[in-house]
Structure 1
Amino acid sequence: MADGITKKEGFAMYEHLILLHSDYSEGKRIAFHQVHKSVLGLKDFKELTDKLKAFYPELSFGFHHVKTDAKTWESVVEYDKFFQEVFPVNKFETFTRFLADEDEITSFDIANLITSKLECTHLKLQKLLYFFYVSYVKKYAEAPFKEKLVAWQHGPVVEEVYDMYKKYGRSSINEPAEDNDVLIYKDDEFKLSVYSRFLQTSSCGKYLDVLDETLDKYESYNAWSLVNLTHQPGTPWDIVTEGGRRLNKIIDEDLIKEFTMKH
């Protein structure tokens, strides 16, 4: 805890109450910052921070109390350079929005987690991402991330993830006659950062469990075997594309829910 008093005399002193959180997804630190003329504001501030900690038990927070002779955040930074690269917000609602974004898992996070566990081509990655999505919906009756699945020629694809990983392949997912793409390899430092990302979310256990189940079931399949599974009659891909005749259609969550209830 940073706790200090400036040495200037004859100036009004201000109590800076700071709740600091490291925002992993953006690579920066965020602070909920309030300024009071006395420590009487500490009680209300503590009540707010206790609510946050209870709502986000997986996120880490640090409380800091600093006294300076000015109301500004700059005076806090001047007092202690520890706060130099911290992004301050003085509205509780704004701070909670940042936390909600931090707690939300995206398709990129899942793709990163998959590639931290095994080497695969981006075609196989897309199929594993789809089967993870289906398994998660079946188990929890909700989508694991907001990005949409789209029915491409060779099965469901999350286009945002495709754009990120297509550099590993010599051909588009829509084109190759064989799975001749480059294997996606991630080093130990990347793997550690991926797990750290999930450990900071309130749904960590749910995501990790479903992914382990998905990989146990499908990891041994090659990419084209997985493609064939997505093309089976009655699958969401088959229904949306009308047997492959109408491509590039969104496979919505409700259709996948309906499918999981039957399988």
Structure 2
Amino acid sequence: MYSAMQIAKYTINKCTTEGHPISNLQLQKILYYIQRELLQSGIDGFDDEIQAWQFGPVVPEVYRQYCGFGAIPIRMKYDVEIGPEYTNIIDPIIEQKRILNPWDMVTDTHQAGKAWSLIYREGLGSYTVIPKDLIRTAG
């Protein structure tokens, strides 16, 4: 199992080296999609919590690391190794989602009945952890 920070660095590196750098907002949504897909594939994903914030699911530690970039693309390179059992699943997600408008991903993760909306509840559950089982089953 990898940490969310390792997956984030892998994602940033892949996006930077392939000429598609992403913002922190995009990174947060991509991490959520990665966690969901890994969990649905029977892989535990990462241990780090995902919380329901105003603009969608957020991994707080990763957010704090990259929030200084604001909406500016994160153009960093890291030497991080992720095994093929993960990359076979996460590479297509990164490649599909990095080209989307980040606000479209916000809209997608905010849909009624999905994990974020079930926890956030119009702000009542702000900063509340979204349980992994809910991410797996409700998306």
Query: Shared fold (TM-score greater than 0.5)?
Result: yes
1:185 aligns with 2:78: no
The answer to whether the 8 A contact 1:238-1:244 is kept is no
Structure 2 distance, partners of 1:235, 1:243, is 13
Q: Percent identity?
A: 29
Output aligned runs, 1:190-201, within 5 Å: 190=78, 193-194=79-80, 197-198=81-82
* TM-aligned CA deviation for residue 220 of structure 1: 1.8
The structure that is strand-richer by fraction is 1
Structure 1 distance, partners of 2:135, 2:124, is 19
* TM-aligned CA deviation for residue 244 of structure 1: 4.2
Structure 1 distance, partners of 2:122, 2:85, is 33
Structure 1 distance, partners of 2:108, 2:86, is 23
1:218 aligns with 2:119: no
The structure that is helix-richer by fraction is 2
* TM-aligned CA deviation for residue 207 of structure 1: 1.1
1:227 aligned to 92, 106, 116, which one? 106
1:129 aligned to 27, 31, 35, which one? 31
Q: TM-score, normalised by structure 1?
A: 0.48
Structure 2 distance, partners of 1:148, 1:157, is 8
Gaps of 5+ in 1: 1-103, 170-180, 199-203
1:23-45: CA deviations, max 9, x gaps? xxxxxxxxxxxxxxxxxxxxxxx
Structure 2 distance, partners of 1:183, 1:213, is 20
The answer to whether the 8 A contact 2:23-2:72 is kept is yes
1:134-180: CA deviations, max 9, x gaps? 1111112x4311100000000000001011111212xxxxxxxxxxx
Structure 1 distance, partners of 2:119, 2:44, is 18
RMSD of the TM alignment (CA)? 1.5
User: Which residue does the alignment assign to 2:138?
Assistant: 259
From the CA coordinates, give the structure whose radius of gyration is larger.
1
Letter in 2 for 1:151: A
Letter in 1 for 2:76: K
The one of the two structures with greater contact order (alpha-carbon pairs below 8 A, sep at least 6) is 2
The answer to whether the 8 A contact 1:233-1:243 is kept is no
Structure 2 distance, partners of 1:151, 1:114, is 21
Output aligned runs, 1:44-55, within 5 Å: none
User: Which residue does the alignment assign to 1:50?
Assistant: none
1:30-81: CA deviations, max 9, x gaps? xxxxxxxxxxxxxxxxxxxxxxxxxxxxxxxxxxxxxxxxxxxxxxxxxxxx
* TM-aligned CA deviation for residue 219 of structure 1: 2.2
Give the number of equivalent residue pairs. Answer: 134
Structure 1 distance, partners of 2:133, 2:102, is 26
User: Which residue does the alignment assign to 1:149?
Assistant: 50
Structure 2 distance, partners of 1:149, 1:115, is 18
1:247 aligns with 2:126: yes
Gaps of 5+ in 2: 16-20
Structure 2 distance, partners of 1:114, 1:208, is 10
1:208 aligned to 87, 91, 94, which one? 87
SS at match of 2:57: strand
User: Which residue does the alignment assign to 1:52?
Assistant: none
